[in-house]
Structure 1
Amino acid sequence: MATAYFNWITACEQLRIAREQLEIQRGTLTIAEKRHTAGFAPRLDVEQATSSVAATESHIPALIAQVASAKNQLSVLLGTYNSRMELTMPKATVFEKTPVVPVGLPSELLRRRPDVIAAEADLHTAVANVGVAVADLYPRFSLTGSVSGRGNDFAQLFRENNNAWSLGGNLVQPLFQGGALRANVRAQQAAAEQAAETYRKTLITAVSEVEEALIDYGNYTSQMPYLQKENEANKEAFRISMESYQGGETEFLNVITAQNSWLSSEESLVTMRQNIRKSIVQLARALGGGW
């Protein structure tokens, strides 16, 4: 569910950026056309600006389809029809938000994982079976015997002539089966050791998956400040290039280059935010739930 929702958020963010860039490119085209009409810029500037606008316009339908596809996947997971589910494009501030992993996650969270629960239950069962097998080594009899016609009160149970007392047979029977019973004990002990090893390996796998998710999360979050700094620099470079172009101080190629660099860094930010969200989902799965 979380993955489907994050995919929809990312698709919406990519569409928002494309539309914003399209408006900027259309403004750049207008400036290039005015300068060309006034005789201050060659026709090449207009054609380059037109190419940029057309490229972005051709990309937008695919992004709209991605948003619709992500919404459809989300509706399936929610058990409803796509037409019955209404989703509105999130505000710009929503895109910049990413989940944060708290410090000091307790290891007990791993015990919620289905595989850990199953391995732990198998271990408890195997250990209990060892106890049952050991208990089979001991004779089973009733200390109060069994009352019969010749022993009809408690005191008579211990009289020598009471044939209802069958302690001897019950005591000797396990001794004859001692070899088989001891073999069963060893077998149950081996099963318990195997269950303990399985439980240990299951825990190692669980911890490894959690560490892998935390490594990814730490890697992505550490890159975010640099990508944001790069994006701000590219945005400022585009602004400066536009001012210089309008003042006749630089070529239009520099404007296109700066604009493309800004768009590329915007897309890199979207990808990195999606990577952070995916690592959060991966961590939640590895923990068997949230925190």
Structure 2
Amino acid sequence: QARLNRLPTLLLNGYVGPQTSRISDVPKVSDGLTYYVGGGFNIPLFDGGRLRGAEQLARAQGQEQVALYQSTALTAYEEVETALADVRASEAQLAAQQRALTAARLAGRLTLERYRRGLIDYFAVVDADRQTLDAARLLVQTQTTQLRAAVQLVRVLGGGWQ
């Protein structure tokens, strides 16, 4: 629009209708019709650089909006990449923690069996149970981390909750 303001403008107007000199004769069209066609041409010759400045300002504002859009898009892309990496990492951690819990449970069963045979004392059984509980606690923490990463991914992708 700022560029268009610097260009010449052409104005056209016209009128067709009855002509009368008295208000009481307005309904009568028998006197004939009058028509008028006119026009004008407007060329901005000197405005002290106002129109050129307005055009430059509009271009600069447009470039600023493009840069802002690009920055926003790059930030959104970065947030999605980070959220995806967090989801992948939490999935790997979850799988490893599930394997650790399975191994701790197996070790606990073997320790209990060795205790029943009289090969070890009960402190080893208590220690194996503690390790199993620690592994289960870490698994729950890892599941929480994974769910938070999934929620963050949905959020950065534009998801919302009502």
User: 1:140 deviation in Å?
Assistant: 3.1
**Match of residue 86, structure 2, among 189, 205, 216:** 216
Give per-residue Cα distances to partners, 1:230-265, cap 9 Å, x unaligned. Answer: 111110111111121122111112111111110011
Aligned-partner residue type, residue 133 of structure 1: A
Alignment of 1:110-129 (within 5 A): none
- How far apart, in 1, do the equivalents of 2:100 and 2:120 lie? 22
- How far apart, in 2, do the equivalents of 1:246 and 1:204 lie? 63
What SS does structure 2 have at the residue aligned with 1:141? strand
Structural RMSD (CA): 2.2
- How far apart, in 2, do the equivalents of 1:286 and 1:239 lie? 44
Moved over 3 A (4+): 145-149
Q: Does 1:137 align with 2:19?
A: no
User: 1:166 deviation in Å?
Assistant: 5.2
**Match of residue 228, structure 1, among 90, 94, 98:** 98
- How far apart, in 2, do the equivalents of 1:213 and 1:244 lie? 46
**Bigger radius of gyration among the two:** 2
Unmatched runs of 5 consecutive residues or more in structure 1:
1-131, 158-164
User: 1:179 deviation in Å?
Assistant: 2.3
- How far apart, in 1, do the equivalents of 2:8 and 2:84 lie? 55
Unmatched runs of 5 consecutive residues or more in structure 2:
20-33
Does the 8 Å CA contact 2:3/2:55 hold for their aligned counterparts?
yes
Percent identity reads: 29
- How far apart, in 1, do the equivalents of 2:136 and 2:39 lie? 89
Give per-residue Cα distances to partners, 1:174-193, cap 9 Å, x unaligned. Answer: 23337211110110100010
Partner of 2:29: none
- How far apart, in 2, do the equivalents of 1:200 and 1:180 lie? 30
Give per-residue Cα distances to partners, 1:15-60, cap 9 Å, x unaligned. Answer: xxxxxxxxxxxxxxxxxxxxxxxxxxxxxxxxxxxxxxxxxxxxxx
Aligned residues: 145
Which structure: greater helix fraction? 1
**With structure 1 as the length reference, what TM-score do the two structures score?**
0.46
User: 1:135 deviation in Å?
Assistant: 1.7
